[in-house]
Amino acid sequence: MSKRIALAATLLAVLCAPAQSATVPSLSGSYLYAGTEFCPSGTGTNHQTTGTALFDPETGKAKLDIYIVTGDKPTMLHVKSTEAYSNTSSTFKLGADSYKISYGAVQNGIATQAAFIGLVQDGETICGFQGSITLQ
């Protein structure tokens, strides 16, 4: 009888234990970066972006080197900036903007691909932004 009680107690402990949270993939290293911003007609400017993003998880900074096609009469801009970033299992923050993120393959704890989407402020207008990163 005591073996049955011990087995039942063990099963109960295992079944009632809190689930282990999944490890959040790190964004680390150099990624190809691509994104599209879409604003409501007549209220903002649509943008297409491509370039690289170098993520440093120790500093929480990302160095961006991107090209942006923008404007009613499209022009191409080259932008280099450093932005704070952070990520959880479902959220990605870059600068002042927050996104929902989905990760692709993870190798050694580092995300090799991710796609993200969110709302961003463009002047006085709220726009949609969708992007992706791929580890180089």
Domain with 59 in it: what CATH number? 2.40.128
- The H or E element that residue 9 is part of is helix 2-16
pLDDT for 3 equals: 55
- Asked whether residue 66 is domain-assigned, the answer is yes
d(CA 53, CA 87): 15
Q: Is residue 118 part of a domain?
A: yes
Report the number of distinct structural domains present in the chain.
Answer: 1
Whether 2 is covered by a domain: the verdict is no
Model's pTM, two decimal places? 0.80
Summarised one tens digit per residue, pLDDT across range 2-37 is 555 544 444 444 444 444 346 899 999 999 999 999
**Which structural domain range is residue 86 located in?**
26-135
Assigned domain for 14 exists = no
Tell me the mean pLDDT in the region 118-136.
93
Instruction: Judge whether 15 lies within some domain.
Output: no
- 77-102 pLDDT, tens digit each: 999 999 999 999 999 999 999 999 99
The answer to whether residues 136 and 113 touch, using CB atoms and an 8 Å cutoff, is no
